[in-house]
Amino acid sequence: MSQHKLHILAKTAFVLITLDSLMTYIGNELTGSILPVNIIVPPILAILVIVKGKDYLMPNLATTTWLSIAILGFFTGIFTISELGISRLFEIISAVIAFVTGYAFARWVSDEDEAAKPLLLIGIIYTTVCVIAISKLLPQYFPMVIKLWAFNGQLIERPEVTTDQNFQIFYLIPGIIIFTLPFQKFRFSLALYIILGSLYTLIGLQTRSGLLIAVGLIFLATFSPIWTKTLGKWKLYTIPLLGILVFIIFLPTIHTFANAIMIRFTETDYSTGLGRLHSFLYLFDKIYNPLWWLPHGNQEFIKLTGNLPHSNSTALFLDGGIFALVAWIILVIVPLLKLSKWFLKSRLDNLSVMLFLGALGSFIAQMTLNVPLMDQVWLWAGVSNGILARQKIISKNTANKTRTNIYNKSQSNL
C-alpha cells in the first residue's frame, strides 16, 4: 500500500472522529437509531499498524507510558465508583483510539495543504448542517431540540443541534483553524464561510464559552504571522478592517439575532464563571488528601452543588484519580507549553501553528466542562503530541543539514 493511501486512511479516521456527533445526529434522523460511527475507526488503525508497524500510531515510550497511566487511573474508577459500569471501559478505549488517531494525523501529514483538505471538509459539512438547522430551512430533515431557560421570569428558547450546546465548539475548531493558513483565494473563501457559519451557530446556540473561544482562535489565526512570517502579513491589516466593516454594516441584524446570548452574558447563576471557578478550586480541596487519590466520582460534588463539576481538571481527578490527572497534565498541558514557547520563538511551521491553535482551543474549552473521556479532548491531545514529534524531526533534519553545509564549506576551503 502506497504512502499516499496510508495518509488517506489516517485522515479518514481523523474525519470520522471529528464528525461523530454529526453522523450520529443524521443517522438518528434517517434511521431512528444511533450509528456506531467510531466502530469504523479501529479497523482503519489496524490496517495502518499491519502495513506500517506500531510506530506509525504509537508515540515515544514516555508518552505511551503516561497514556497507560491515564488508562490505569480511569480503569481503577470502574471498581471504586459505584455508579460506573462496564460501559466506562468502552469510553476509555474510545479515548485512547482518539489519542492515537490525532497523533498519527499530526505526525505523518506532509504539509498544511494536505492537512487543510480534511479540515475544510469537516468545517464545511458541520457548519452547513448547523446553519440549516438553526435557520429552520429544512426542519423536517434537520430538527433542533429546544430547551428553555428563564430570565427575569421570562422563558427563552435555547436550541440544540447534534450535541450539547457547550460541546459544540469542539466540532467547529477543525474548520476555524483553517483561517490560520496563508491566503489562497479558493481556500480563503471556504474558510471565511466556515468562520461566519461557526459564529452564526455559536450565537444561535447561545454558548458563551464557545463564542469566546471561537473569537479568540480567529484573533490568534489573524495575528499569528507576527511570529510565523510565512503565514502572510496581509492578514494583519485586511482581516481586522474587513471584520470591522462587516460588523458595522450588519450591526442591527447582529443585535437582533444575538439578543439571547447577550442576555446570557448577564447571568450570575451557577452555570457562569463563579460555578466554574468553584469547580476548579474544589480540586485543590481534595488533592492534598491521599485518601482522595483513588477515583471517588462526582457524588459529593453533586450533593454540594446539584451539578457536575464544570472543570475538566477536577473531573479527571474525580473520575480517574491522581494517575489520570497527572497523566493529563503531562499529555495535554506540557506539550502545549512547549508548543507555545516554540510558537513565540517562531520555530513552528505553518502546519504546526494551525494544529497548535486547534489543540489550544480544545484545552481552553475543556477547562470549563466536564469531559474527562470525551474523544475530542483526547484527539487534540494526540495532535499536540504528534506536532511535537514532527517538529523534533524537522529540527533534527535542519541541524544535520546545517552541519553538512558547514562541513562541505570547510572542505572546499582546504
Q: What is the pLDDT along the chain (414 residues), one digit of tens a residue?
A: 556 666 788 899 999 999 999 988 888 776 666 666 678 899 999 998 888 888 888 899 999 999 999 999 999 999 999 888 888 999 999 999 999 999 999 998 888 999 999 999 999 999 999 999 999 998 888 998 888 766 666 777 788 998 888 999 999 999 999 999 998 999 999 999 999 999 999 999 988 889 999 999 999 999 999 999 999 888 888 888 888 887 888 777 776 777 777 777 766 554 556 778 888 899 999 999 999 999 999 999 998 888 899 999 999 999 999 999 999 999 999 999 999 999 999 999 999 999 999 999 999 999 999 999 999 999 999 999 999 998 888 777 665 555 555 545 555 555
Neighbours of 236 (CB within 10 A): 14
Q: Which residue spans within 25-183 are E strands per DSSP? A: 145-151, 154-160
What are the CA-CA distances from residue 121 to residues 50, 137, 283, 374 (Å)?
A: 28, 22, 39, 22
Residue 148: strand, helix, or coil: strand
- Residue spans per domain, the chain: 1-52, 58-108+272-414, 117-264
Task: Answer whether 0.85 is exceeded by the pTM.
Answer: yes
Return the pLDDT at 407: 46
Structure confidence at residue 140 (pLDDT): 87
What contacts 231, CB < 8 A, 6 or more positions away? 180, 181, 182, 224, 225, 350, 353
Beta bridge partners of 151: 154
Residue 103: closest CA among 169, 46, 51, 45: 45
Contact 197, 133 (CB under 8 A): no
Q: How far is CA 203 from CA 17, 174, 200, 215, 296, in A?
A: 24, 18, 5, 11, 36
Q: Which three cell numbers stand for residue 277?
A: 471557578
Chain centroid to Cα 163, Å, comes to 15
